[in-house]
């Protein structure tokens, strides 16, 4: 009964606040759009960026590997919790909690696999760029139609 009273007070209070707010003249600082950030121009953003180097890509690969390690350790912990519930069926008689933990662990394993693949891709591209930089060559995707080199990498 008390819960219903709280709900009614909340609903009526909200309706009262809406009527009060509608009576107040809105200025630009109260408009919700004024708080939103304008979208950056992707063309000007790309022009200001420095190109990715081989070292940058190798660092990103290490970050992806660390994130994948964290996800894998979390997946192992969740699987261990699910297994411990399987050993005590009276704690989860219908198996909903155990199934939920296994589903979450499966999604963690999948995310970790995707991160490992991204890390491998970044690592191979970084090593390729380092080899090209070491030889003094500019990657072919950085050349325009006339054969002039540009400052952007295609990664």
Spatial distance between the Cα atoms of 75 and 108, rounded to a whole number of angstroms? 6
Angle in degrees, CA 11, 12, 17, rounded to 5: 100
Q: Could you tell me the pTM of the whole model?
A: 0.56
pLDDT, residue 88, reads 87
Per the CB < 8 A criterion, the answer to whether 47 and 123 are in contact is no
Spatial distance between the Cα atoms of 152 and 51, rounded to a whole number of angstroms? 5
Per the CB < 8 A criterion, the answer to whether 81 and 91 are in contact is no
pLDDT, residue 24, reads 47
Going residue by residue through the chain, which has 155 residues, state the pLDDT in tens, using 9 for 90 and above.
Answer: 666 666 766 666 666 555 545 554 445 444 444 444 555 666 655 565 778 888 899 999 999 999 999 999 999 999 999 999 888 888 888 889 999 999 999 999 999 999 999 999 999 999 999 998 888 776 555 544 444 544 444 54
């Amino acid at each position: 009964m008390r819960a219903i009273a709280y709900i009614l007070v909340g609903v009526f209070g909200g309706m009262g606040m809406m009527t009060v707010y509608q009576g107040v003249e809105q200025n630009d600082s109260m408009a919700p759009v004024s708080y939103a950030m304008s979208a950056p121009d992707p063309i000007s953003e790309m022009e200001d960026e420095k190109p990715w180097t081989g070292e940058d890509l190798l660092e990103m690969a290490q970050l992806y590997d660390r994130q994948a390690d964290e996800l894998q350790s979390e997946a192992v912990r969740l699987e261990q919790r699910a297994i411990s519930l399987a050993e005590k069926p009276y704690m989860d008689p219908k198996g909903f909690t155990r199934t939920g933990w296994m589903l979450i662990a499966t999604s963690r394993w999948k995310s970790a696999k995707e991160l490992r693949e991204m890390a491998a891709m970044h690592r191979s591209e970084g090593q390729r760029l380092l080899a090209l930089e070491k030889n003094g060559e500019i990657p072919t995707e950085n050349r325009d139609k006339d054969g002039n080199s540009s400052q952007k990498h295609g990664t």
